[in-house]
Structure 1
Amino acid sequence: MEFQKDNTFFTGRLKSMGFALKGAIKLITTEHSVMVQSSLGVLLIIAGFYFNISMTEWMVQTLVIGLVLSVEGLNTAVEKIADFIHPNFHEKIGFIKDIAAGAVFFAAMTAIAVILMIYIPKFL
């Protein structure tokens, strides 16, 4: 089957959204780190309703959940491409994968800081 680009605006966008949804489902169902992070995101949403967080807190919480999941998705893509290009261990590939994982670390630490700022006052 040959790829054919859809040049119409509306159907092209629908197809793009379909591919994006397919990718999101693949991430959630195949990548353990995304499974864990998605589960934590659901728990934070439940906590948000339980503690009746403000609209601003909802916006920031939603942003950091999306940030972590997005960066993890990009990290996964980098790892898959690197493994495809060079399946055996290679020092430069390892360096690239470590940098991508470092980006996830920064996003996760930011998310933890934000979540603590939202929820610690609820317990005090």
Structure 2
Amino acid sequence: MPKESFLVNRLKAVRYAVRGALLLIRTEASIKVQVVLGLIVTALGFYFEISNTEWILQILAIALVLGVEGLNTAIEKLADFCQPEFDERIGFLKDVSAGAVMLVSVAAAVVGLIIYIPKFF
């Protein structure tokens, strides 16, 4: 069987990544809320004509929250698969993973407040 080209492999990787992102959005309630919030602040960005620097910070904040939420979901699903019964060690992993989402969410909210509070006043 001939080896696939680099380009074919990259296109397959992108297809799998898009599929994973869509699965995440379709199946996880928390990511749906975060996507909606991301769309709202994006609309606010256009409305208030935020600066390039503000756009960069906002996009990074949104991406960080969504990315860490995706990792949190993967960790939780993997933990449930490996240990379906209650296990204190698995609970610890899940709590730490959820805590990471909380930390980046708070940081993203602070970024949003720094950008938008002056725009409203």
TM-score (norm 1): 0.94
Q: Deviation at 1:96?
A: 0.4
> Percentage identity across aligned positions?
53
Counterparts of 1:1-124 in structure 2 under 5 Å? 7-124=4-121
- Give the counterpart letter for 2:57 in structure 1: V
Alignment partner of 2:84: what SS?
A: coil
Deviation at 1:117, TM superposition (A): 0.2
The DSSP-based 3-state class of the residue aligned with 2:18 is helix
Structure 1 stretches of 4+ moved >4 Å: none
- Please give the alpha-carbon distance, in whole angstroms, between the structure 1 residues aligned to 2:85 and 2:45: 44
Describe the SS at the equivalent of 1:22. Answer: helix
Question: How far does residue 7 in structure 1 lie from its aligned partner after superposition?
Answer: 4.2
Secondary structure at the aligned position of 1:38 is classed as helix
Unmatched segments (≥5 aa) in structure 1: none
- Tell me the CA shift for residue 88 of structure 1: 1.3
CA RMSD of aligned residues (A): 1.2
Paired residues in the alignment total: 120
2:111 partner letter: V
Q: Deviations over 1:54-81 (max 9, x none)?
A: 1110110000000000000000000000
Letter in 1 for 2:107: T
- 1:8 offset after TM fit, Å? 1.8
